[in-house]
Structure 1
Amino acid sequence: MSITTDKLEVMPVISRPEDFDARSGGLLERIIFNNRMILVIACALLTVLLGLQASKLEINASFEKMMPVSHPFIQNYLQNTASLRGLGNSVRIVVENANGDIYDADYLAALRDINDRVFLVPGVDRSFMKSLWMPVVRWTEITAEGYKGGAVMPDTYDGSPASIEALRDNVRRAGIVGSLVANDERSSMLFVPLLSHDAMSGKALDYRAFRDAVDSIRTEYAAKGVNIYIIGFAQLVGDLIHGLIEVFTYFLYAAVICTGLILAYTRCLRSTALVVTCSLVAVAWQLGLMRLFGLVLDPYSVLVPFLIFAIGVSHGAQKMNGITQDIGRGTHRYVAARYTFRRLFLAGLTALLADAVGFGVLSVIDIPVIRDLAVAASTGVAVLIFTNLILLPVLLSYTGVSLAAAARSLREDEEDHPLARWLARFTKRPWALAVIVFSVVATVAALVVAQDLKIGDLDPGAPELRPDSTYNRDNAFITAHYQLSSDQFAVVVTTPEQGLVTYETLLEMDRLEEILRDLPGVQTTVSAASLARNYTAAGFEGSPKWITLNRDSYVVADALNYVYDGNPEMFNDSRSVAPIIAFLADHKAETLDRVVKTVEAFAAEHNTNERKFLLAAGNSGIEAATNIVVSDANRKMLFYVYAAVIALCFITFRSWRAVVVAVVPLVVTSLLCEALMVTLGIGVKVATLPVTALGVGIGVDYSLYLLAVQLAAQREGLSLTEAYCKALVFTGKVVALIGITLAAAVVPWAWSPIKFQADMGLLLAFMFVWNMLGALIVIPCLAAFLLKDETVRRKGSQSAQLSREASSTNSVVPAPSENVLKAAGSASRPPVEFVRPTSVAAAAGGAKE
C-alpha cells in the first residue's frame, strides 16, 4: 500500500478518469480497480452460493458444548456419564391439580396420559424416567415376615376410591413426598433424563422439537384444569431458541436504525444503500460459511450477525465519507474511490484485524460454544475485509454519490462546526490536564467498585432468561413446593468392580456426606451410603439401632440391592461408580466454591488407589467447572486482546507514544464497564465474558482512524491542534457517527426475552459510546503531552519540501478553518488550501437526489 502513517500523500483533483494514471497506486489497488467488473461478478456469484447455504443453517444447541470439556471436573463426568444417568441432561415436569390434590381419579388419568406421551418423545432415556406411573418408583417396608414392597402405583389401580387410597399409602411408605410428590401433595413430578442423540435416528437431540413437544402437552392440559411446570436444560435451551426467533426481528430494527443514521448523515440514498447492502452481504457470507464449517446458530452465536452488520456499516461509513469529500472537491468518482482505498485500506485492515483479535481471543475460553462463536465472528470479520474494504469502494466507483451529498460535504468542510471548535480545545494542556485528572479519578473509582465483581450467576433460577419468564416462574413454583433443590452438585466415587460393596467405601462416603451437610448453602445430601443405612435397619425389624453401616459384607450387599431396586441411578450395575449428591440452596459462585474446596480437601486426604472421590457432576458441578474456567480466562483473555491490540497499533503507528495514546482510553472504558457490571448486579460468566474483549477489539477502530490521519498530518509539519482538527474534519465526525451507530445496533437487544443478550447489549452499547468519547476527547488530551513534539521529530528538509508542495497542491484532506484554530488557541495558518471543483455534478456521478 502507498499509504502509511508516515506521511499524508498529496493527491491532485482529477475530474476526468482518462486523466488518471491507472498504473499508479499499490499492486493490490491496481489488481482490484483495474479488474472491477470481474470482482463485482465474482462477489455476486459468491453471495448467491453462500446465501443458499445460509438458508440451510440450523438453529440448535448442545448440552456438551455448554461445558468446558477439557476441564478435569468435566473429564471425570464424561468418563463416567454412562453410570450417572440421572445427573446429566434431564428435565423435570411437574403436573399440578388446580382443583384438588393428586389423589383424584381425573388427575391420575391425566398424569398417566402425560407420562405416556412424554415417554415417547424422541430423546428421552426411558429406562431411567421416573413418575408415579413408572414401575421403577417403588416402596419398601419391613414386616414380621420380612421385606415387603412394590411399585408405588398399585398394579390393581382402576380409579376406584380403594385403589386411590392404596396409592396414598404407597406414596408415604416410599418416602417420595418432597421429591416426586409435592409437599402439599397437590402435584407430582416426572423426572425425564435425556440422551444426547436419539436412539432411533442417531441424530443429535433437537431441543427446539423437544420443547415444542412438551409445551404442546402443557397447553392442551391447561384447558383441563391441570397445570404443568417444566424445568431443565432442554427446556431452557428450547425457550432460548424460541427467544432467538424473536431476536431476529431486532436485526431488522438494528438495520433500520443504522440505515437511518447513515442516511441522515450523508443525505445520499445510493451510497447509504450500498453501505447497508455490503454489510448485509457480509452477514450472508458469514452465515453461509458457518453452515459449511458445520456450525449452528445457538443462543450465543446468534449475536454475531448483529455485530458483523454493525461493524460493516461503521467501516463502510468511513469509506463513503472519504469518497464523498473527494467528489465534493471535483474528483471523479472512480478516482475518488481509489484515493479513499489508498488512504484508508491500511487503517481499515488494521482495525478489522483488531476486531478479529477481539473475537479470536474468545477461543481461550475452554467452552466449545464460545469457541464456535469465536470462529463464526472471526470468519465474519475476515469477510468484511472483502465486502467493506474492497467491494464497497469498487461499487462506489461506479455509482458515486448524489450532487447534494457532495456539495454538502464541501460546505461542511469549509464551515466552522461548534463541536469541532470545542473538541480542539483538548489539544491544549490546561484543558487536557483537567480531562486526564478526571479520567484518573474515574479509573481509580472504577477499580475500587470492580473489586466486588463476581464470577458466575447471581440470580436464582435461570439467569439466561428474565425473572418473569415462564421458565423462571416454573422454577420458582417447583422450588417452593418441593424439598429438594434443582441445583445438584455431585461427587463421583469410583472403585474397582464391586468396590462399593465394602464397609470402608460406604463409611468414607457417609463421612463426606456429613461434612457437606454442615456447609452453608447445602440443603441435604443423598448417596448409596445414606440410603443403605435405612435399608440396613429395615432388614433388622426396623430397629433405630440398625440405622447404620454394617461391617458384614453380606449385610452391605443386601442393603445395596434394595437401594438399587428403588434408586438405580445411585450406582452402576458393576457397583464401581456412585454419586454423592448435594442439593444446594443456590448456584452462586460462593456456594459452589465452598463445596469444591471442601470436597478437594477431603479427596486429598482420603483418596486411595482403590477409592477416589472425583469432582464433579450434576448441573451445579458443571457450573462450578464453568466458573473456574471463566475466572481463569477473564484476565488471560484481556491480556491477550490488549497485547494483540498494542502490537497492531505499534505496527500501524510505529510510535510507542501513539500506542499509549490509543490504548489508554480503552483501558479506562474496560474498567468502567466492570464497575457498571457490579452496579447492575451482572456477574462474569459465559454470556458476559466476551463483552470486554469485543469492546476493546471494536473500540480501537476509533483510535486507528483518528490517529492515522492526525499523525500523518503532524509528520507533514502541522501542529498538534492543526493535525487534530484535520483528523476531526476527515475521520473524526465519522468516528462519532460510528460510535452512535454501533450503540444503536445493539441497543434493541435490551428488549430481548433472553436476559444475557439484554445484558450484553447494554454493556456493549456502553463500551461503544465511551470508546468513541475516549477517542474524541481523551486521545487529544494525551496527545497534548505525548505527541506534542511529533512535528519536531519529523521535521527536516524532506518534510519541509512536502509541506510546501501541500500548500500549492490540492490535498485530499481538508484543512481546519482559522476560526477552529483560534478557538483552540492556535494562530497557525493551515498549509492546505481548498480548490473549488469545476464540475461537482460530473464528479458525483448523477443528478441531485
Structure 2
Amino acid sequence: MAQNNVEQTLLGPIKRSEQLIERVLFHRRITFLLLFLVITLALGYQAIQIRPDASFVKMIPTNHPYVQNYLRHRDDLSGLGNSVKIVVQSRTGDIFSAPFQQVLQQVTDEAFFIKGVDRSALKSIWTPNVRWTEVTEEGFVGGPIIPPDYDGSPQSLEKVRQNILRSGQVGLLVANDFKSAIVQVPLFDRDPETGEKLNYQAFSQKLEALIRDKYQNDDIQIRVVGFAKIVGDLIEGAQSVAVFFAIAIVITLALLFIYSGSFAGSLIPIICSLVAVVWQLGLLRWFGYGLDPYSMLVPFLIFAIGVSHAVQVVNTIRLEQVAGADAWLASRRAFRAIYIPGLTALLSDGLGFVTLSVIEIQVIQDLAVAASVGVAVIIITNLLLLPLLMSYTGVGQRAIRQAARRTNAGQHWRHLSVFATPKGAAVATATALVVLVVGLWGSQNLQIGDLDKGAPELRADARYNLDNLFVTENYATSSDIFVVMVATPAEQCSSFATLSRVDYFQRYMAQVEGVQSSVSLADVSKRVTAGLNEGSLKWRSVSRNQFVINASLSYVPAGFMNGDCSLLPVIIFLDDHKAQTLSRVSESVERFAQQHNSSDISFEMAAGNSGFEAATNEVISRAQYEMLAWVYGVVSLLCLLTFRSVRTVVCIIAPLMLTSILCQALMAAMGIGVKVATLPVIALGVGIGVDYGIYIYSRLNTFLLEGRSLPDAYLETLKTTGSSVAFTGLTLAIGVVLWVFSPIKFQADMGILLTFMFLWNMLGALILLPALTCLLRRERRPEGDS
C-alpha cells in the first residue's frame, strides 16, 4: 500500500499530464499540426538570421582574480589584452629595401583603418609611438624610426637601419635576422562608437582581404597571429560542420530505412529532429545568442539526441502495428509507452547540460544554454510532433512484415541475454572492474589546459600554427605573453624601491623554466642610464640616485607605465603556453608576491594571452569534478524519482561513470588536455548516454512486472528496445566519426571522444546494466509467502 502511495505521489501528476496531452493531441491533430507549422516557420525565420558570435571576454573567466586585476587596470594596459600581430616577411632579402618598406607602411595604414583596432596603441616601425633614443655630447637625441625626410634612397634606408638598432626593437618589432617586421594591432572588444561586440569573423576576413590577399606575392609573405585570427580561422573551419551535418543526415536516413523498412518511419524522425534544430537556433537568436566556434557543434548533437529518441518512438509504433493496431491507435499507445521514460531521459539530458553553467566561463555557459534549449524543444518535437505525424502514415506493411520476422527470429539476442544470468553477470561485472582500474590508472595522466605549442584547436600544419612557429623562431619574444601588474601609490612606480624590486623580480623569473625573457620600466631605466654614461655596462643597473632615475625616464615608450605612475607592467615572454609552463610561472609569481607584497608595492597577476589562459586553467581544474558531480547528481535524482529504486539508479549510472573514466583515460593517451573546447564533451556524452539506460530499464521493468524471469525479460527487451538502442549507438557513432576529417583539430578530437562515448554507453546499457540488475535485484516472493 505504501508503495502505491509513493507511486501516486511521484507519478500521479505526470500520468495525469500524459493522459490529458494524449487525449487533446490525438483528437485535435490538424490544429496542432498547423500550430507546429506556424512555430517552425517563425523560428525558422529567426534561425536563418543567427550569426557566429565570438568574444575575447567570453573566452576568459571574468570572475577569476587574475582577470579581475586585468579589468581593473585595463585602461592602463594598452596593447596587452586582445591583439594580433601582422608579420611582413621578405622572401628575397631583408627589410632594408624601398619596396619592402613601402609594403610595410601600406600594411600599417591598412591595419590602422580596420574597424575594431585600438589605433592609439597600434605599433610598427612606421608609427610615431615607436622611437629611437641616443646619448650624445649634447645630451639625449631621438625621434621616430622612420625619419621625416625618408625617401626610400639608400641613405634613408641606412638611417632606418641605424634607428632600428638604437631603438631596441630588434627581436620585438623587427626580426633577429632583419628579414621581417611586425605590425602590432591591439583590438577593442566592443566598438567605442556603437558598443557592438567585435565581429571576429568579419575582422578576420578583412585581414585576409585587405592585407594578406592584397600584399602577399612572390616577394612578400604575410603572417598573422593572435586570438582574433584563431577565432576567425575556427569560424571558417567550423563551417565544415554543415558538410558533415549533411553527410550525417544522409547516412542516418539510409540506416534508418535499412533498420525500419519504412520510408515514413525513416523520413519523419529525420524531419522532426531537423525541426528541433531549427527551433533551437531560432530560440537562441530570439534570446539574443549567437553561435561561437565551440557551440557550433551543438546543433548536430541536438539532431543526434532527436534521432535517438525518435528511433524509440518509431520502433514502439512498429511493434504496436505488428500486434494489430492501426496507425492512429499504434501512435497513441507508443505515446503512452514512451512519454514517461522519454520525458525522464530528456529532462536528464537538459538538466545535465545546465550543470555546465557552474563553470564561470561565458563561452561554456552559452554552450549550456544552447544545449539545454535544444533538449527542451526535443520534448515537443519528438514526444509530441513525431507520434502525431506517424498517426497519419504508420510504418507501412513492409515494415510490419519485417518487424514480425525479426521478432520471431530474434533468438540471436540470446548471446547478450546471458549477461542477465548470475554467471554472465559475474563475468561482465568482473570485466568492468578490470576496465575501471585500467581507466583510473590511465586517467591519472590527464592534464589541464593546452599540451601543444601554437593553437591546439587547429592542426599542427595549419597556416596559423606555421605563422606562430615563424614568430617564435625569428623573434626574441614569443607570442605567449604573461603580464604581471606592479601596483604602487601614485607617482611611486619610478622610485628606486619600486624599480629595484621589479628588477629583482625579473631576475627571479629568469630562473623559472619556460620563461624566455622579460621587459619592464626597470629595463628602460637601466638602458638609458648606461647610455648617459657612454654605454658603460657598469652603469646598466637601477641607480640609487632618484635624480638619475628621473633623467633616465624622461621619455618612456608607451605601455611601460600609466599616466599617474601607479602601475607598471612586467611583460614576461614564455617558451609556450602549455599547462605545465603556465602553472610553474603562476606558482613562481605567487611565491614572490607573498614574500614581497606590501602597502607600497603589489605584484598582481595577470594579463596577456598566457595570463588569461593560466586563469582559465585554474577555473577548469576546480570546476571539472564539480561539473561531473552535478551532472551525475541531477541524472541520478531524476532516475530515482522515476524508478524509485537506488539499485536501479546504480544500474543506469554505473555504466555512464565507467565510460566517463575511460574517456578521461583516452584523452590522456591522445594528449588532449581538459580545456574550454573539451571539458563539455564528457557532460554531453553523459547526457546522451543516459537515454540508453533509461529506455532499456524501462522496457525491462515492464516485462519483469508481468512476472517473467530476468533472463526472459531481458531477451524480450533486446528484441524490442535493445535493438533500437544498438542501432542508435552505431548510427550516432558513424555520424560523428566523420569529424576526424575536419580541418579543425578540436572538432576532430570531439568526434573521436563522442564516438567512443556513444559506443561505450551503448555497450554499457546492453551488457553492464542487465548484469548489475541481476546482481543487485532482489527476487520478488509470490504473494502469500511469509
TM-score past 0.5 threshold: yes
Q: How far 1:244 moved relative to its partner?
A: 2.0
1:480 maps to which of 461, 473, 476: 473
Greater Rg over alpha carbons, structure:
1
Letter in 1 for 2:162: D
Q: Deviations over 1:131-154 (max 9, x none)?
A: 121111111111111112111112
Determine the structure 1 residue equivalent to 2:492.
499
Q: How far 1:609 moved relative to its partner?
A: 2.4
Letter in 2 for 1:493: V
- Does the aligned pair in 2 maintain the 1:5–1:709 contact within 8 Å? no
2:387 partner SS = helix
2:239 maps to which of 233, 245, 248: 245
Determine the structure 1 residue equivalent to 2:592.
602
- Does the aligned pair in 2 maintain the 1:669–1:770 contact within 8 Å? yes
Q: Deviations over 1:379-402 (max 9, x none)?
A: 000000000011111111122121
What pairs up with 1:588-599 in 2 under 5 angstroms? Answer: 588-599=578-589
Q: Once superposed, what is the RMSD of the aligned Cα atoms?
A: 1.9
- Does the aligned pair in 2 maintain the 1:6–1:712 contact within 8 Å? no
2:293 matches 1:299:
yes
2:689 matches 1:696:
no
2:317 partner SS = helix
Bigger shift: residues 432-441 or 45-54: 432-441
2:352 maps to which of 350, 358, 361: 358
Question: Counterparts of 2:494 and 2:697 in 1: how far apart (Å)?
Answer: 72
Q: How far 1:221 moved relative to its partner?
A: 2.2
2:724 matches 1:734:
yes
What pairs up with 1:36-435 in 2 under 5 angstroms? Answer: 36-216=29-209, 217-418=211-412, 420-435=413-428
2:626 matches 1:636:
yes
- Does the aligned pair in 2 maintain the 1:491–1:617 contact within 8 Å? yes
- Does the aligned pair in 2 maintain the 1:144–1:541 contact within 8 Å? no
2:462 matches 1:469:
yes
Question: Counterparts of 2:523 and 2:126 in 1: how far apart (Å)?
Answer: 26
Question: Counterparts of 2:549 and 2:566 in 1: how far apart (Å)?
Answer: 14
Q: Deviations over 1:441-486 (max 9, x none)?
A: 1110111111111110001100011111110111111111111111
2:185 partner SS = strand
Letter in 1 for 2:81: G
Q: Give the structure, 1 or 2, with the largest relative contact order (CA under 8 Å, sep 6 or more).
A: 1
What pairs up with 1:374-773 in 2 under 5 angstroms? Answer: 374-418=368-412, 420-562=413-555, 564=556, 567-773=557-763
Question: Counterparts of 1:437 and 1:245 in 2: how far apart (Å)?
Answer: 45
Question: Counterparts of 2:667 and 2:240 in 1: how far apart (Å)?
Answer: 26
Aligned residues: 774
- Does the aligned pair in 1 maintain the 2:722–2:766 contact within 8 Å? yes
Bigger shift: residues 502-511 or 302-311: 502-511
Question: Counterparts of 1:24 and 1:641 in 2: how far apart (Å)?
Answer: 27
Question: Counterparts of 1:607 and 1:758 in 2: how far apart (Å)?
Answer: 45
Question: Counterparts of 1:5 and 1:722 in 2: how far apart (Å)?
Answer: 28
Question: Counterparts of 2:349 and 2:737 in 1: how far apart (Å)?
Answer: 20
Determine the structure 2 residue equivalent to 1:11.
none
Q: Deviations over 1:657-677 (max 9, x none)?
A: 111111111111111111111
Letter in 2 for 1:318: Q
- Does the aligned pair in 2 maintain the 1:60–1:241 contact within 8 Å? no
Question: Counterparts of 2:278 and 2:515 in 1: how far apart (Å)?
Answer: 49
Bigger shift: residues 505-514 or 218-227: 218-227
Structure 1: runs of 5 or more not aligned: 8-22, 800-849
Return the TM-score normalized by structure 2. 0.96
1:512 partner SS = helix
Bigger shift: residues 531-540 or 701-710: 531-540
Determine the structure 2 residue equivalent to 1:796.
783
Question: Counterparts of 1:24 and 1:360 in 2: how far apart (Å)?
Answer: 24
Letter in 2 for 1:89: N
Question: Counterparts of 1:431 and 1:395 in 2: how far apart (Å)?
Answer: 42
- Does the aligned pair in 2 maintain the 1:691–1:760 contact within 8 Å? yes
Q: Which runs of 4+ in 1 moved over 6 A?
A: 3-7
Q: How far 1:767 moved relative to its partner?
A: 0.4
- Does the aligned pair in 1 maintain the 2:58–2:361 contact within 8 Å? yes
Q: How far 1:201 moved relative to its partner?
A: 4.1
Bigger shift: residues 568-577 or 95-104: 568-577
Question: Counterparts of 1:397 and 1:5 in 2: how far apart (Å)?
Answer: 34
Q: How far 1:240 moved relative to its partner?
A: 0.9
Question: Counterparts of 1:146 and 1:385 in 2: how far apart (Å)?
Answer: 78
Bigger shift: residues 91-100 or 712-721: 712-721
Q: How far 1:24 moved relative to its partner?
A: 12
Question: Counterparts of 2:216 and 2:182 in 1: how far apart (Å)?
Answer: 16
Query: Percent of pairs identical after alignment?
Result: 48
Question: Counterparts of 1:658 and 1:6 in 2: how far apart (Å)?
Answer: 15
Question: Counterparts of 1:569 and 1:434 in 2: how far apart (Å)?
Answer: 67
Question: Counterparts of 2:606 and 2:17 in 1: how far apart (Å)?
Answer: 65
Q: Deviations over 1:44-86 (max 9, x none)?
A: 1000000000111111310000000111111111111111112
Q: Deviations over 1:492-541 (max 9, x none)?
A: 11123212121111122112111111101101111112221112222334
Question: Counterparts of 2:411 and 2:180 in 1: how far apart (Å)?
Answer: 69
Bigger shift: residues 48-57 or 706-715: 706-715
Q: How far 1:643 moved relative to its partner?
A: 0.9
Determine the structure 2 residue equivalent to 1:806.
none
Q: Deviations over 1:83-121 (max 9, x none)?
A: 111210100111111111101111111111111111111
Question: Counterparts of 1:450 and 1:25 in 2: how far apart (Å)?
Answer: 43
- Does the aligned pair in 1 maintain the 2:526–2:542 contact within 8 Å? yes
Letter in 1 for 2:604: L
Question: Counterparts of 1:751 and 1:421 in 2: how far apart (Å)?
Answer: 38
Q: How far 1:605 moved relative to its partner?
A: 2.1
Q: How far 1:594 moved relative to its partner?
A: 1.1
Q: How far 1:5 moved relative to its partner?
A: 13
2:86 partner SS = strand
Q: Deviations over 1:284-322 (max 9, x none)?
A: 000001101111111011111000001001101100000
Question: Counterparts of 1:85 and 1:503 in 2: how far apart (Å)?
Answer: 25
1:26 partner SS = helix
Q: Deviations over 1:780-828 (max 9, x none)?
A: 22222112x34x15x437x9xxxxxxxxxxxxxxxxxxxxxxxxxxxxx
Letter in 2 for 1:70: N
- Does the aligned pair in 2 maintain the 1:276–1:313 contact within 8 Å? yes
Q: How far 1:224 moved relative to its partner?
A: 4.7
Cα separation, partners in 2 of 1:446 and 1:5, compared to 1, 3 Å: farther
- Does the aligned pair in 2 maintain the 1:5–1:653 contact within 8 Å? no
Question: Counterparts of 1:206 and 1:561 in 2: how far apart (Å)?
Answer: 40
Question: Counterparts of 2:621 and 2:17 in 1: how far apart (Å)?
Answer: 52
Return the TM-score normalized by structure 1. 0.89
Question: Counterparts of 1:268 and 1:339 in 2: how far apart (Å)?
Answer: 19
1:570 partner SS = coil
Letter in 2 for 1:796: E
Q: How far 1:542 moved relative to its partner?
A: 2.9
Q: How far 1:156 moved relative to its partner?
A: 1.2
Letter in 1 for 2:770: P
1:142 partner SS = strand
